[in-house]
Structure 1
């Protein structure tokens, strides 16, 4: 009879040469302790192998007849981390920008990456992208919106069970004070009524903010209108509309960022004009424009410019860079004297007058605008007759060309306008008329009208409704049918339609008593 075998496994350690000692950890068959398991057949299983699991293992098999032993040496393969990049690096970023610090390492098992920051805090896990310091899965560390507190040494540590390796990055924060691209001092002379654009462009890191200071001490910031004639554009340009002598003086541009200040001073001299205003050039005195199009009318002149529209409306100038006006106003006059018309219609036809004026006098020039439109033309405009059977649907085509696009309407034989959408009628977008379930009273002339501001065109289509003669039991055009019956018996009178019929009436005759004798 086979004896039952008992298995035991021992982990051995070397204390002295040639001497083996058990660790005292003994595992029997069908047992599991943490990561270690001995199966019923004596197999020893180590889960999630670690570097410390390497060494010699002794298997002991015993039964009543004796004992046997087997030694197994376990070698765990592992490679300590090794940095793929230089272990020492210097990096400089501009104030306010983001810094990307790379860290790449190889090893077995795959090394874990962590960073030690200059303030000795440690970043180990992949971070939320919304945080200032973010650790990505590839080991790169991002420092957002850097400031001077972020400078220092950043240490990347790559570690696994076999060891660790490290690299360091010294981060420096740099900044550039503002520099103004134009002359720092400039004299600018203009005549009264002549608008001025004074530029101020600055560079720096972080990007500088720009403001203007007038000779009165007033502070002007971008997109701020002051006194109705002073405006600073987002690019730093100062706009002075229709200046007078009292606007003469020093205007100072100040560019500022966190590391410095730059200034530019412009001395503006506004002189009184010694000659009367004069228009030097305009658009052609007569100009055609397509209906619905756009039109620009030029007027180059000395002095203040205004435009008079055909309806008498006066239009004054606005700054050239204020593009929003173009989309919100039907008429816009730019500071260079150009009048812009958006979506020209028939009411824009007429005379436009450009006025130039200064304190000495004025000048004017007229431009006549003619709005050009094409009258509608209906395609295949011939009188036609359409025959349709009673109860069917008929489709009448009517398409037209013209500028602006003509509007299509239909009138019935009763000279009434047809509603575009109803149970009976439907007018499609292309002008096609659909008439449902045609009846006798739908016969007659249908008129299609194509209209726009330039005129009208019409087309007439005649509908003829076809009605079949009633046929009863196969007998056509017979008013009386005779049938012989037996007195006092029930009679069935058949009525069979062979066609689609339109019956105004039919007569049932009741037989009573001896009426048919």
Structure 2
């Protein structure tokens, strides 16, 4: 389950008091700023110091908090002026509770005597969703207190509204629970006493509930490609046009600037991965939302930063850095002249991943010496591919050749062997095998950078001891030997066959319900 997170909006509320004569009804209204009005509801009122009044269709006689947030105080007395009232409001999404400053009632004069009803407060248009509750309000000031009657126009005739299982007439309030589309229409409330009668018209609109979904619900896109989500809104299986559609990513509203049912993301990057919400809001204030996920497909590594060739005197510290992006996050492998980095205390290798999923790797060398020179290579690898960069680090000094580890080549394939030479400048690099300088045939080639390439190596003719030697202009030289072992393809084929057979065995045991696989 994914949490729906929004940014908190600071707001304050105030209280409006509609005063009334002695013995009549006063109305207190919580004033909510327009920019959050659709997302904030009144949850209760507080009569100081600590008497809480909660919404109810029936009220408790003296106090009646409407589901719409207004507080009615019936049968006003002068003693009611001694109390102060505060409204408590809550943001629907952030759950932030804001309490107003206290407000006091003002009762107008003495008993006003006899006068006919005057409707001072009534709802003109109520819009609710199907299966929700509807409250129609019609407040009249009069003395004596007026009697109320309610009527409904069923498009054939105007009929009195009767109390029933879902319908309650509470004087100036008509409450309908679990409304249906049959309840929609025009209502009339009538208030009368011995001094006269008056009436008001109220319209009730009932909207069927919305079903909302994002298509597709899970979308996997390669980095750099286009992603598209469509927000489908329907009611009773029929697609509807909803004017207010907002898009959110990981709980934050997207700055689209327009209200669209289609969200298009060009050139998807790692930052676009995550959860997306489509929120449809109707004029009635109710909201509906659906969630979809954008996943990143595999992407081969791309080198974002790489080091350059440097030529230095021995002594200073050197830092070589590579960074790469890709999906999944690649790993970076370092080599020096094709072999693993020397394992000594002057070499420190570090890696870390940024918040965007990029990998940054560096090699720090303290107090470089002549033997640290050579061609450094960083290779970023993930399951989608690899990407490499290499550059030389030249350290002035006499020729020096590092240890050449034992090399294994595969029969019939190409062998590429780099002479791990250090020192700068170097004039010549040569290779020998069994005392004979290479190349000795057309399969062999020695590149200008000292790389030995042998095409289609064979066990009998190409296995053995190879010697690399280097010389500078002054005639100083260095040499080092290493062993090359050529193995047949049959060994690899057998190994691959064994691995495949092992995977088949594991699959069979899992299908048979065997938990322990060896």
TM-score, normalized by the shorter chain, greater than 0.5: no
TM-score (norm 2): 0.26
More helix as a share of residues:
2
TM-score, structure 1 normalization: 0.26
